[in-house]
Structure 1
Amino acid sequence: MPRVKVSVVVPVYNTGKYVDECAPSLLGQSLPADEYEVIYVDDGSTDDTLARLEKIAAKHPNVQVHTRPNSGWPGAPRNLGMSHARGEYIQFVDHDDTLGPEALERLYEFAKRNDADVVLGKMSTTMVRPRRLFRHTVDACTIENDELMQSMSPHKMFRRAFVEEHGLRFPEGPWILEDLLFVSAAYLKAERISILADYPCYYWMKRDDGGNNTQHRFSPRHGFWSNCRTIVRQIKDGTEASDDIDALQNRLLHRLYHVEILSRTREPEILREDPAEQRQRFEAARELALTEFPAAVREGLPTVSRLRADLLERGDFDGAVALAERVREVKARSEVGALRWEGGRLVADVTLDLLRGDGEPLALVERDGKRWLDPELLAGVPGAEDGWEVRDPFRLAYAELVVKDRDREDWWYPEGDLEVRLEPLGEGRSRLVASGRLLLDPERLAGGRPLERGVHDVWAYVQLLGIDRMVRVTGDGTPGAPATGPALTGGRLALPYWTAGGQLALDVDQRQRRLGPDTAGAAAANTGRGRRSLPLPYIAAAAGAPARIKVTVSSLTLDAELIPAPEGITAELRLPARLALPAGRHPVTLPKTDTPVAHAVVRDGALLRLEGPAYEPGTGRRLLDSVADNGQVRRVRRRLGR
Structure 2
Amino acid sequence: MGVKVSVVVPVSEPGPDDDAFDACVRSLLEQTMPSDEYEVIFADDHSDDGTRERLDAVAAVRPNVRVLHLEHTGSPTRGRNVGLAVARGEYVYLLGRRDRLERVALEAMYHAAVETDADVLIGRLVRGDDPPSRAFSRNRERADLFRDRLLGLPTAHKLFRRAFLDTRDIRFPDIEPQMSEQAFVIKAYLTAKVVAVLADQVCCHMAPPQPPQSTPAEWATGLRAVLDVIDTHSDPGEQRERLYAHWFRTGVLRPLGGRRLANATPGRRAAMFSALRDLTLERFPPELDRHLPVHLRTRAMLLRSGQLGRLMALNEATTGTYLRAELRDVRWDESILTLDLAVEIVNAAGDPMTYESAGDRLLWTPPLAGLNLPPALADVTDAVAKARMEVYIRHTGNGLIFFIPVTGEVCRAEENGRVRVWAVGRARLDVGSAALGRPLRPGEWEVHVRMRGGTHQARTRVAGHKGAQLSCVGVLAGHPRKLVIPCWSEQRELSVYVEPKSFADSIVLVSAGATVTHRDGELFIALPVPYVPPSGGPATELLLRQATTRARTVTVPALVEPGVPGRFPGQLVAKFPLARIPSETHLTPGLWTPHLKVDAREHPLRFAMDLSRSRRARIRPTQDPTSLTRPPSALTRLLNHLPGGPQTLRALQKLRTRYLPPPQ
Which bin holds the TM-score, normalised by the shorter protein? 0.7 to 0.9
Range 114-123 or range 167-176, more displaced: 167-176
Query: Does the 8 Å contact 2:332/2:567 carry over to 1?
Result: no
Amino acid of the structure 1 residue aligned with 2:118: A
Structure 2 segments unaligned to the other structure (5+ residues): 515-527, 543-561, 571-594, 600-664
Which residue does the alignment assign to 2:556?
A: none
| Aligned with 1:372 (options 363, 371, 375) | 363
Which residue does the alignment assign to 2:488?
A: 498
- Distance in 2 between residues matched to 1:164 and 1:150, nearest whole Å: 25
Matched, 1:214 2:210: yes
Q: What's the secondary structure of 1:282's corresponding residue? A: helix
Matched, 1:240 2:240: no
| Aligned with 1:195 (options 187, 190, 197) | 197
Q: What's the secondary structure of 1:130's corresponding residue? A: coil
Matched, 1:309 2:300: yes
Query: Does the 8 Å contact 1:400/1:418 carry over to 2?
Result: no
Range 494-503 or range 76-85, more displaced: 494-503
| Aligned with 1:322 (options 313, 338, 341) | 313
Query: Does the 8 Å contact 1:146/1:252 carry over to 2?
Result: no
Note the C-alpha offset of 1:540.
8.0
Which residue does the alignment assign to 2:247?
A: 256
User: Structure 1 residues 218 and 406 mapped into 2: Cα distance closer, same or farther (>3 Å)?
Assistant: farther
Amino acid of the structure 1 residue aligned with 2:506: L
Counting only pairs closer than 5 Å after superposition, residues 217-616 of structure 1 correspond to structure 2 as 217-220=213-216, 223-242=218-237, 247-367=238-358, 370-373=361-364, 375=365, 377-380=366-369, 382-384=371-373, 388-394=378-384, 397-416=387-406, 421-476=410-465, 482-489=470-477, 490-510=480-500, 514-516=505-507, 518=510, 551-552=538-539, 592=597
- Distance in 2 between residues matched to 1:3 and 1:344, nearest whole Å: 48
User: Structure 1 residues 272 and 572 mapped into 2: Cα distance closer, same or farther (>3 Å)?
Assistant: closer
Note the C-alpha offset of 1:476.
1.6
User: Structure 1 residues 70 and 28 mapped into 2: Cα distance closer, same or farther (>3 Å)?
Assistant: same
User: Structure 1 residues 548 and 410 mapped into 2: Cα distance closer, same or farther (>3 Å)?
Assistant: farther
Query: Does the 8 Å contact 2:538/2:598 carry over to 1?
Result: no
Which residue does the alignment assign to 1:95?
A: 97
Which residue does the alignment assign to 2:54?
A: 52
Range 486-495 or range 123-132, more displaced: 123-132
User: Structure 1 residues 43 and 519 mapped into 2: Cα distance closer, same or farther (>3 Å)?
Assistant: closer
Note the C-alpha offset of 1:273.
1.9
- Distance in 1 between residues matched to 2:485 and 2:284, nearest whole Å: 51
Q: What's the secondary structure of 1:215's corresponding residue? A: coil
Residue deviations 1:519-563, cap 9 Å, x none?
A: 9999xxxxxxxxxxxxxx99689xxxx9999512899xxxxxxx9
User: Structure 1 residues 521 and 104 mapped into 2: Cα distance closer, same or farther (>3 Å)?
Assistant: closer
Note the C-alpha offset of 1:355.
1.0
Which residue does the alignment assign to 2:615?
A: none
Counting only pairs closer than 5 Å after superposition, residues 626-637 of structure 1 correspond to structure 2 as none
Note the C-alpha offset of 1:276.
3.6
Query: Does the 8 Å contact 1:405/1:456 carry over to 2?
Result: yes
Q: TM-score under structure 2 normalisation?
A: 0.73
Note the C-alpha offset of 1:475.
2.3
Query: Does the 8 Å contact 1:404/1:457 carry over to 2?
Result: yes
Note the C-alpha offset of 1:570.
7.6
- Distance in 1 between residues matched to 2:568 and 2:324, nearest whole Å: 35
Note the C-alpha offset of 1:564.
14
Amino acid of the structure 1 residue aligned with 2:34: P
- Distance in 2 between residues matched to 1:520 and 1:280, nearest whole Å: 53
Which residue does the alignment assign to 1:610?
A: none
Query: Does the 8 Å contact 2:475/2:566 carry over to 1?
Result: no
Which residue does the alignment assign to 1:25?
A: 27
Note the C-alpha offset of 1:353.
1.6
- Distance in 1 between residues matched to 2:408 and 2:295, nearest whole Å: 22
Range 380-389 or range 497-506, more displaced: 380-389
Which residue does the alignment assign to 1:5?
A: 4
Residue deviations 1:228-253, cap 9 Å, x none?
A: 011023213322323xxxx2222222
- Distance in 2 between residues matched to 1:501 and 1:484, nearest whole Å: 15
Note the C-alpha offset of 1:407.
1.4
Counting only pairs closer than 5 Å after superposition, residues 135-146 of structure 1 correspond to structure 2 as 135-145=137-147
C-alpha RMSD of matched pairs (Å): 3.6
Which residue does the alignment assign to 2:13?
A: 14
Q: What's the secondary structure of 2:382's corresponding residue? A: coil
- Distance in 2 between residues matched to 1:520 and 1:259, nearest whole Å: 43
Structure 1 segments unaligned to the other structure (5+ residues): 207-212, 523-536, 556-562, 574-589, 595-642
Q: TM-score under structure 1 normalisation?
A: 0.76
Q: What's the secondary structure of 2:351's corresponding residue? A: coil
Note the C-alpha offset of 1:514.
3.6
Q: What's the secondary structure of 1:493's corresponding residue? A: strand
Query: Does the 8 Å contact 1:488/1:547 carry over to 2?
Result: no
Note the C-alpha offset of 1:189.
0.5
Amino acid of the structure 2 residue aligned with 1:20: D
User: Structure 1 residues 175 and 486 mapped into 2: Cα distance closer, same or farther (>3 Å)?
Assistant: closer
Query: Does the 8 Å contact 1:264/1:282 carry over to 2?
Result: no
Which residue does the alignment assign to 2:617?
A: none
User: Structure 1 residues 34 and 351 mapped into 2: Cα distance closer, same or farther (>3 Å)?
Assistant: same
- Distance in 2 between residues matched to 1:94 and 1:397, nearest whole Å: 35
Note the C-alpha offset of 1:176.
4.6
